[in-house]
Amino acid sequence: MLRMCIFLFVMLPIFSFGFNLSDTGRLAIDIRRVQLHDDIDALQLKMYGVDGKNDKIIAASRDLDLNLLLTDVYTRQVDVLQAEIEHAPELDHRVKVKYLTGLKNSIDGYYKALRSQQMSAENGLELFEAFKEFYYKDKEGLALGKSVENYPYQVNSILIGEYTVFFENPGLGDARIELFRQFADTYPSEILFKIEPYLEHPFADSLLVICARAFPERFYNYAAAAQTKIGIQIRKINDPFVQLIVKISDERSGRLIFPFVHAILKERITIDSIKVVAKDKLKYYQLLVNTQLQYLDDLNRRDTPVLYTELGVMIKRKAEEVFINEINALHDLPDEKRFKILQPLKAEELYYLIVTGEDILYTSSYVGVYNRMMAKSPQRNGDSLLMLVKFDRFKKFIRMAASYNKMDVFLGSMTPDNAQLLMKAFVRGLEKVNNLEDAVDVANSYGSIANPDIARLMREEILSSLSLNINRGNTRGEAIYDILHLLFLSAEDSSEQLTLKYRIPAVYRMPIGNLLDTAGRIVQQVFFYGDKDGIQSFQNFMALFKDKKGWLITQNENWVEIQSQVGNPVLIFANKPLNNSKGDDPDAKAQQLLIEYLRIQGLSPSIVIHRGHSYHLKYTIAQLSTSAKIIVLGSCGSYQNLSSVLQICPDAHIVSSKEVGSSLVNEPVLKMINESLLNSESVDWISIWNNLSKQFAGSETKERFENYIPPHKNLGALFIKAFNNREL
């Protein structure tokens, strides 16, 4: 029946336009309009290739019947209408140009919308019908107004938008009002940007009220611009919520008051009381955290707080500005001076320093905050702390605890039963979250769990959740838990199942061929920084190459070049850690000069090494070469920066430290890597790590070595790669 209907739909225009079609080829085209016809013909041919194939069908969908219908519309039926416009005796040259241009713009608009997935195949049928209706009405001088209501925004925006050819139609004004209403329904987040020309129409106020509730942050900015047309109109709206935003935006400290809108509406607090507290940085941060905990109760009652996200943003901002920046800056001072600013804070307030400060907390800063938080927690146990913060962002907290080697300590602070319940909650429900953040947290945490019972529990929960998602037919959940299951297997041995199934590059070994440049050399670049520790680190590094028979060292005032004299050709370039105590940053200049030299010489580093404190690492990452295949991050807490590195070098093998970076570990790691390279061997991470484990066993360096994470244990990075490569 469907095919018969489509057949009739296709054939009816043939019967009705049969005379015109038979004469089209014989009738001459005015030379002044030949180019327009050629443009339309070219667009018709272009439509054939909308699916990337050069055939004779417009394949805009998976429905063959629909594609055949579209092909007929945009070839034969367009030809018929094209001929009708060209030979209409009642139209003069100017008007014919207008309508032919409109037909051309319609086809071009549909083609572009299809390519950008902004229109469907069905919209193409509507677009052609709408153009014909508008054309006939416009030709007769009839208003378009009501006709616009019969078609969707995607169609109307092409026909009566900015480049409309119906600019002389008496109903264009009404049609465009309807177009804006359709636009507002389709793109509500864009209303405030586009509404100014329509402020005098009755629907404007209701749209502004909708924007106030849906996009309060953006609405606040418009309300604060009191002298603009929109700002003036907003002040006329008789709506309590709108008027509250207006009142806050008029305050000098409005931005500090704004996140508390929900609490003000609930009459828990007043604008005046917030203004008083805002004068004291400590009290203001404490008020933010207290309000956050109240909002969590509201969420549990399914009363979603207005500006809930904005409150979290303000907590993060104040946590960094007031507390974290200071304790980071004072990292060289004794703890009693460095962490003095934290003394008035309660356990829950310290908790939010941790979960909001991940991006900038130094490793030692995290440890100092964590220890003070646990000392102030009820009964000093972890479950009481999490109950205090109502388990807000607890998965992130656990992942950070694992990253900084505090996982076992934290779980050990609670009863075994509660620890097990917490880890079950940590692992379950990952498929219910729209992003992958929680799943990556689970992946990253596993490699840091020393307690075999907790590790076993996580594996069991992963398998249970995998089975549950398979039974429910949840393919996304199945992929998440299957990848985690294989990841946890790969963390225990050299199993290649993950690599084979999800087509991710091998993470257990780096083939020597991947490190060679076009001349068969392996180029390394090492970043040093000119503080006291950096200078000492440079001296330790250079001691690796004291064998003059094995290495040739040349240098200038800014960098050293180290060339292998035996074995595979290896070139190592390291900037000198020049004294930066005067604040002029000479080592930054040395790094830039070295990078420029490498570029001019056509030398692309396949191995990059960072040597310096964690606060220097961002400068190394900013200068990281995309050619890097192995990246060794020898600074404290460098494990926290994996995602930033992988954005630049997505397939790189990364060695990092979760806590204290040390030359006592860095030098042996680099030595073993170079030994493999000189012997023309692939870099086998499992073999290297097994040898290093034996080397450090029983020594004082063992604990520091255990903080280092080799590439095959960077489970979060592996998870993202595998998930992106899964078969959909």
User: How far apart, in whole angstroms, are the C-alpha atoms of residue 548 and residue 665?
Assistant: 24
Residues 290-317 have pLDDT tens digits of: 999 999 999 999 999 988 999 999 999 9
Q: Is 449 helix (H, G, I), strand (E, B) or coil?
A: coil
Closest CA to 150 of 160, 140, 141: 160
pLDDT at 354 over 60: yes
Q: In what order do the strands lie in the sheet with 522-527?
A: 551-555, 559-564, 570-575, 522-527, 607-610, 630-633, 653-657, 708-709
3-state helix, strand, coil in the chain (%, to 5): 65, 5, 30
Sign of CA dihedral 28, 33, 36, 42: positive
For residues 298 and 646, the model is more confident at 298
Query: What band does 260 get if pLDDT is binned at 50, 70 and 90?
Result: very high
What mean pLDDT is reported for the chain? 87
Low-confidence winner among 5-19, 171-185, 664-678, 691-705 (lowest mean pLDDT): 5-19
**pLDDT single digits (tens) 37-54:** 999 999 999 988 888 777
pLDDT per residue as tens digits for the range 77-107: 999 999 999 999 999 999 999 999 999 999 9
Tokens describing residue 429: 């429900």
pLDDT at position 618 is 86
- pLDDT score, position 491: 63
**Partners of 709 in the beta sheet?**
656
For residue 262, pLDDT beyond 70: yes
Structure confidence at residue 19 (pLDDT) = 35
pLDDT of residue 400: 87
Is it the case that residue 138 has pLDDT exceeding 60?
yes
Q: Regarding predicted confidence, which is higher, 278 or 532?
A: 278
pLDDT digits (tens, 9 = 90+) for 524-579: 999 998 888 788 889 888 988 988 789 999 999 999 999 999 888 999 999 998 87
Q: What is the CATH number of domain 509-725?
A: 3.40.50
CA angle, 49 then 50 then 52, to 5°: 60
pTM for the predicted model, two decimal places: 0.68
Domain ranges of the chain: 2-186, 405-492, 509-725
**pLDDT tens column, 582-622:** 666 788 899 999 999 999 999 999 999 998 777 788 888 99
End-to-end CA distance of the chain: 33
Query: What string of H, E and C letters represents the secondary structure of 575-607?
Result: ECCCCCCCCCCHHHHHHHHHHHHHHHCCCCCCE
CB–CB of 613/531 below 8 Å?
Answer: yes
Whether the predicted pLDDT of 8 surpasses 60: no
Task: Name the range with the highest mean pLDDT among 19-23, 553-557, 695-699, 718-722.
Answer: 553-557
Residue 686 has pLDDT above 60, yes or no: yes
Alpha carbon distance 41, 226 (integer Å): 52
Cα 486 → chain centroid: 25
